[in-house]
Structure 1
Amino acid sequence: MSCDEAAGGVGEVRNAHLHCIRFSIEAGAALVLPRITSRSEDDIKAVNGRTGLPLDYYFDVDHLHHVLATYCPQMKVYDSLDDLYDVPEASGALQFNIGDTNNDWVNGTVIAAPGMWSHGFYNFINQKVPVQDRTNPFRVHLQRTQWTWQVAGDGRSVASSFGRMLRVRPDARRLAASALFTLASRFGLDLDPRRRRHPESFVGVHLRTEENVDDGYPDYPSQAAHYLDYIFESRSRTAFLATGATRDNVTAFSNRARDFNVTVVTKLDILDEEERGALERLTWDQRGLVDYEIMLRAGLVAGVSASAFAWNLALRRSYAFGKGPVGTEPDSTGGFAWRDDYTTLYGQNGNAFAMAATVWP
């Protein structure tokens, strides 16, 4: 099985690729690792830039191979279709989308009974290409699929660990580790890595006001009001701002937080000169990987429900620190889509239900 390339930030790409891997496992198919389409380097609003980038654009591919070889040893994995250059039968593929293989949905987009999906899949391919008419190996190609598989249906142990196979690339993790060390040292925070959670350390805030946001995102004043109130209610006087927003927005937020005796920092503030140089050599989206790793380790996190990045954080933290998405029903007034002891996502984006149900932690 091969899958469409995925474009966008790490939240979108990560979940699309995890869906690809999960459907391949369910189909009992060999896997051609999916590729990535980077954002335009000249215009961050254009998500379709360079195509055909390997997974190491975002992720630690060696770790992925290790996990799949260890826990799915019977599954053949190819880095790309180039690895099948000597298999002419694999040059063509039966294209399909999940709607071709399933007709029972929750909320219109989420598979109601994922455990039954393989039956629909094999019925579909047997109708399209009967067994007696196939040449082997037989390749199928899954079109873009992102918010479809019910994660909780696989059980807590799988739900809490499956997404870990797509670990952030090592250079971004090193930058995040250094930034966290500086953050702890400078502000006297307890971030001892031997303990899983540090509830009174710092608040992580995902300020999403970049020029590429759509109408699903609240404006800066709305986000700032929510986040400042959230920080003030916490016990922390240190906040980390994960953002690619304009310097004006960052400065305005930092200045307003200072009125509440809160110090706000970004990754640029807690990396040394050499590390900032390494950060600058990364693309705009790759820099977000550093934010992601830092935010995972915050005592509290606030974001907006329109963001796949924020949902990745919320679900990952809910399993890492608690019991998963238990008791996290959206606010009936529309104030927030997710709230637990670790993360709050403000607003009621139309895709919030699907992301809450299908994001791999």
Structure 2
Amino acid sequence: MALDKVPPTPPQKLSLDDYDFNGPYIGWPLARACNETKWQPGLVFVCDNNSGGIGNIRNFILTCIRYGIEAGASGLIMPRIQRRSEENLANIFTTGFQPFGYFFDEKHFTDSMGEFCPQMKIYNDTDHFPNADKKKQAKEFYPKDLNIDLDGCDGRGVNRHLDQFRTKFDAWAVKYENQPSVERPLTLRFKWATFFEWPIMRDGPEFAATFGDLLRIRKDVQELAAYTIMEMAKFAGQEADITKSPPKYLGVHLRTESDALGFWPNFKTQSEGYMKQAEIHKLKHAYIASGNATEGHRFGEIAMQNVGLNVTSKVDLLKGEKLKQLTDLSWDQQALVDFLVLSKSTQFTGCSFSSFAMNIAIKRHLMTDGIFSRKWISPSDPFSTLVGRFESWYGDWMFMYECMWP
């Protein structure tokens, strides 16, 4: 049967025509999910067993909260963020926890949850909810452990039977005498690393497109990123005016840091792919994000020689007090500036195995059809291209694209 009506114009979540990194907050899909849930008084989720950069940590917190809604958790401990070592980027558990505001806008998060999901109350820590002194604790909880018969399948794969999760969760609580109540609450903390588990399209495109907007980057970093884009405009010989459209540039994420895994695309594969995108889209200026300064400069030299691409970075663009503001941030906090600047690039290209690059590409994908956007299809859409064949369809890598919240 032919469609006789044009679908409504979808609300936009991101635009390349302004310096707004967020767009309007749309909370009704969250409210709908929360209103459909049967809530359990005394069940409190703890969503802090995370690590790594913004892509991983963001997805862990969101996935944990989504499971919490499904479980009917009436309480949530304000998520904390595990800070990695500055000296050894692969060492992600050494320096302890930072508050939610280390990455994110705490007021936006608490206000949005309070308005659209008030059934899940947010507490500062595990001693600040009623009868906390009588609580039981479930640590290292892993949702897929509730699945009994895997029939030979890899147990680390995506949790496909989420329609059965609540039934199995309630049965688990009875079996292990973990039924929560106001008088004897239960705190539940996920095991590391539970972050690519929930297929986002299960809740419909409108929820998938808006749920991640609970976690907005902190405002001072947004302001620094906007300033960086204006400096990028000057670098590209374009108008630097925050009231106008951002400049035209290629956004590049070069993923060759010391913690990159051996089977990821190497420097040659990435750099050739990125230069190809510059040629296809006829862009002569690029903003590069790379934690390896040597490799970043190497790419800049090769790109200029081969395709006439002028490459710069946040460290090159910022001067004086703005540069000090940047360098006062930790390594992962500085990456938040890159995350935002790359999200506003004319075209974005990055490493297919990087959760950082995936997160940017999938967030930009919302420009295809707003809150009604269908799923990302690898390796590209009109706004982004990820480089390097994604061949490792096993274990923890199996469903990153399906389970990445925009």
Which TM-score applies when normalising by structure 2? 0.79
105-114 vs 58-67, greater mean Cα deviation:
105-114
> Residues 184-223 of structure 1: matches in 2 within 5 Å?
184-189=233-238, 201-223=248-270
1:9 aligns with 2:53: yes
Look up the match of 2:30. none
Query: Do the aligned partners of residues 192 and 151 (structure 1) sit closer, same or farther apart at CA in structure 2, a change above 3 Å counting?
Result: farther
Report the alpha carbon displacement of residue 325 of structure 1 after superposing the two structures with TM: 4.7
> Residues 264-283 of structure 1: matches in 2 within 5 Å?
264-283=311-330
Which structure carries more relative contact order (alpha carbon 8 Å, separation 6+)?
Answer: 2
- Give the conservation status (yes or no) of the 8 Å contact 1:160–1:320: no
Deviations 1:93-143 (A, max 9, x none): 365211223458897521213343212211211211165999522322222
Q: Which consecutive unaligned segments of at least 5 residues does structure 2 have?
A: 1-44
Look up the match of 1:57. 102
Deviations 1:183-209 (A, max 9, x none): 1244244798789x97x8211110011
CA distance in structure 2 between the aligned counterparts of 1:223 and 1:95, rounded to whole angstroms:
37
- Give the conservation status (yes or no) of the 8 Å contact 2:127–2:133: no
Report the alpha carbon displacement of residue 235 of structure 1 after superposing the two structures with TM: 2.0
- Give the conservation status (yes or no) of the 8 Å contact 1:104–1:113: no
Report the alpha carbon displacement of residue 3 of structure 1 after superposing the two structures with TM: 3.3
CA distance in structure 2 between the aligned counterparts of 1:276 and 1:193, rounded to whole angstroms:
19
> How big is the alpha-carbon RMSD for the aligned residues of Structure 1 and Structure 2?
2.7
Query: Do the aligned partners of residues 314 and 280 (structure 1) sit closer, same or farther apart at CA in structure 2, a change above 3 Å counting?
Result: same
> Residues 88-167 of structure 1: matches in 2 within 5 Å?
88-90=133-135, 92-93=137-138, 95-102=140-147, 108-129=156-177, 131=179, 136-144=184-192, 145-167=194-216
Report the alpha carbon displacement of residue 226 of structure 1 after superposing the two structures with TM: 1.1
- Give the conservation status (yes or no) of the 8 Å contact 1:203–1:298: yes
- Give the conservation status (yes or no) of the 8 Å contact 1:5–1:34: no
**Which structure 1 residue ranges, 4+ long, deviate > 4 Å from structure 2?**
103-108, 130-135, 188-195
> Residues 297-312 of structure 1: matches in 2 within 5 Å?
297-312=344-359
1:175 aligns with 2:219: no
Deviations 1:122-179 (A, max 9, x none): 1211211165999522322222311000101111111111001111122211110101
Deviations 1:213-232 (A, max 9, x none): 12132221221111111211
Q: Which consecutive unaligned segments of at least 5 residues does structure 1 have?
A: 331-337
CA distance in structure 1 between the aligned counterparts of 2:376 and 2:139, rounded to whole angstroms:
42
Look up the match of 2:21. none
Look up the match of 1:287. 334
Give the fraction of aligned pairs with identical amino acids, expressed as a percent.
Answer: 29
- Give the conservation status (yes or no) of the 8 Å contact 1:327–1:340: yes
Helix, strand or coil at the partner of 1:69: helix
- Give the conservation status (yes or no) of the 8 Å contact 1:239–1:264: yes
Deviations 1:38-70 (A, max 9, x none): 111222221112112211111111111011011
79-88 vs 10-19, greater mean Cα deviation:
79-88
Instruction: Kindly tell me the number of residue pairs found equivalent between the two proteins.
Output: 350
Look up the match of 1:334. none
Look up the match of 1:36. 81
